Amino acid sequence: MTSKLIILQDKIRMAEKAAGRTPRSVALIAVSKVQPCSAIRPVLQAGHRLFGENRLQETAEKWPSLREEFPDIILHLIGPLQTKKTRQAVRLFDVIETLDREKLARQLARIFAEEGLRRDCYIQINVGREPQKAGILPEEAEAFIALCRDELKLPIVGLMCIPPAAEDPAPYFSLLKDMAYKAGLEKLSMGMSGDFEKAIAEGATSVRVGTALFGERVKTG
């Protein structure tokens, strides 16, 4: 397990170098969905602190106890968020990567005010315009970013995407980078086990990697 972490970190450093990126400018989000605490703990013991989960229930079962052992964990929500679960998400996660609609943006603003706290947010962009996928359509992004930042005063730090599975992801990563640049946003969450090196070449500031670190996930229906 620890050796997989080292190999993955080496690959990220090599991809940074190949792309002429600043050393250590790309963060690894270890995607631990479906993995039990017994698989996550060795990664924590190796010193890694940045993780991604996609389900609230599972996160509530696993992470409070891990946080007691390792208080400096940083947890990103990378899965869909139901509006009615916003308060729970804000309590469980440090960063919300899947802000994908106006109703959720308004609810986040309200919960931040009520709870007296803020969480950095990424706006999820549906770069491939896929009907089954969440995210703001590229042509609607500018107006949505303006709503979130200027009207609702949400701490928007960057953009996130999941490109279409069966295509070369590079043009989609490039599109996300252009959109972030135009909006003056610095962070780009893009790239998974199969394509994180391409994402780094296109400007990713964080990659979300599960399988290459923990092995194949056992499907749970």
Asked if 126 is part of the footprint of ligand PLP (rule: CB under 6 A), the reply reads no
Asked if 78 is part of the footprint of ligand PLP (rule: CB under 6 A), the reply reads yes
Integer Cα distance of 97 and 148 in angstroms: 14
- Contact region with ligand PLP (CB under 6 A), list: 110-118, 145-153, 163-171, 207-215: 207-215
Least distance in angstroms from the C-beta of 73 to ligand PLP:
18
- Contact yes or no for 139/102 (Cβ under 8 A): no
Q: Which tokens go with 30?
A: 């270890």
Integer Cα distance of 118 and 149 in angstroms: 13
Radius of gyration over every alpha carbon of the chain, rounded to an integer in angstroms: 17
Number of helical H runs and strand E runs in the chain: 9, 8
Asked if 21 is part of the footprint of ligand PLP (rule: CB under 6 A), the reply reads no
Q: Binder to ligand PLP among 56, 75, 192, 201 (CB under 6 A)? A: 192
Instruction: Pick the closer one to ligand PLP by CB: 79 or 138.
Output: 79
Least distance in angstroms from the C-beta of 83 to ligand PLP:
19
Task: Please give the size of the binding site for ligand PLP, defined by CB under 6 A.
Answer: 14
Q: Binder to ligand PLP among 4, 11, 13, 33 (CB under 6 A)? A: 33
Q: Binder to ligand PLP among 77, 104, 127, 162 (CB under 6 A)? A: 162
Instruction: Pick the closer one to ligand PLP by CB: 161 or 183.
Output: 161
Asked if 209 is part of the footprint of ligand PLP (rule: CB under 6 A), the reply reads yes
Instruction: Pick the closer one to ligand PLP by CB: 69 or 168.
Output: 168
Report CA-CA distances (Å) from 194 to 5, 8, 59, 168, 219: 16, 12, 24, 11, 18
- Contact region with ligand PLP (CB under 6 A), list: 83-91, 142-150, 169-177, 203-211: 203-211
- Contact yes or no for 75/94 (Cβ under 8 A): yes
DSSP-derived 3-state class of residue 92: helix
Asked if 54 is part of the footprint of ligand PLP (rule: CB under 6 A), the reply reads yes
CA dihedral over 188, 101, 35, 45, signed as positive or negative: positive
Asked if 31 is part of the footprint of ligand PLP (rule: CB under 6 A), the reply reads yes
- Contact yes or no for 128/163 (Cβ under 8 A): yes
Q: Which tokens go with 217?
A: 């996930």
Give the residues lining the site for ligand PLP (CB under 6 A). 31, 33, 54, 78-79, 162, 192-194, 208-212
